[in-house]
């Protein structure tokens, strides 16, 4: 249930920092790998415990901080390891599509969050440096989830942030859950 903090470069350069096309990580689920056709795999990827949310959005005691939290069900295999990767996207007001924020610090590597015996939550906080005089930006998170056995990826799926989830730790204020966050 840890939370990691990552600083991000100023938002003034968002227009020239667009990463992959919006559809590349815009929230459509990735195809499951390996055992993706089994009933157990389908249940895992459709679980109510599989979600992403924003649990901190420019809170008074955490100005310019956006916290992204993910939850994933275990696969009941204690020897498997679960991983999450956190990424930020911004809403391009011209195309009205979500675009990966390619600024340094706008994503994490895959982080091990625990064994597969039970469900896990983890999160990452991103410090946004807005530029005076620039308009605010609408941001959201995207969490990539992986279940691995050794170096083999058993299942993989991506979820954008949505509202209405209960974070076990880190929400500010307590119980906060949102799909997007405006900072700037």
pLDDT of residue 59: 94
The residue length of the chain stands at: 184
- Residue in 22, 43, 21, 24 with CA at minimum distance from that of residue 32: 43
Alpha carbon separation from 62 to 65, 99, 102 (Å, rounded): 6, 25, 23
- What residues contact residue 109 under an 8 Å CB cut-off, 6+ apart? 85
Alpha carbon distance 94, 74 (integer Å): 40
Q: Half-sphere exposure of residue 44, counting CA atoms within 13 Å on the CB side? A: 29
pLDDT of residue 131: 79
Long-range contacts of residues 40-48, Cβ cutoff 8 Å, at least 24 apart: 40/75, 41/154, 41/155, 44/73, 44/75, 44/147, 44/155, 45/155, 45/157, 47/72, 47/73
Whether 32 has a pLDDT exceeding 80, the answer reads no
Alpha carbon distance 40, 119 (integer Å): 15
pTM of the full structure: 0.82
Whether 92 has a pLDDT exceeding 50, the answer reads yes
Alpha carbon distance 134, 116 (integer Å): 44
- Residue in 163, 159, 173 with CA at minimum distance from that of residue 30: 159
Q: Which domain holds residue 29?
A: 3-183
Per-residue pLDDT, averaged over 35-45, amounts to 77
Give the pLDDT confidence of 59-75 residue by residue, as tens digits: 999 999 999 999 999 99
- Cβ(95)–Cβ(133) under 8 Å? no
Q: How many domains does the chain have?
A: 1
pLDDT of residue 125: 95
């Amino acid at each position: 249930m840890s939370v990691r903090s990552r600083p991000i470069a100023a938002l003034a350069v968002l227009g020239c920092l667009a990463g992959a096309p919006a559809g590349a990580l815009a929230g459509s689920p990735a195809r499951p790998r390996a055992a993706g056709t089994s009933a157990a795999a389908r249940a895992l990827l459709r679980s109510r415990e599989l979600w992403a949310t924003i649990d901190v959005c420019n809170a008074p005691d955490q100005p310019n901080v956006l916290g992204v939290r993910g939850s994933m069900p275990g696969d009941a295999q204690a020897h498997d390891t679960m991983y999450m990767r956190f990424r930020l996207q911004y809403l391009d007001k011209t195309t009205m599509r979500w675009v990966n924020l390619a600024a340094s610090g706008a994503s994490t590597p895959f982080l091990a969050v625990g064994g597969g015996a039970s469900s896990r939550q983890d999160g990452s906080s991103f410090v946004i440096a807005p530029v005076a005089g620039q308009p605010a930006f609408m941001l959201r998170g995207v969490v990539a989830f992986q279940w691995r056995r050794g170096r083999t990826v058993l299942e993989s799926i991506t979820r954008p942030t949505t509202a209405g989830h209960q974070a076990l730790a880190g929400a500010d204020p307590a119980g906060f859950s949102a799909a997007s966050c405006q900072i700037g």
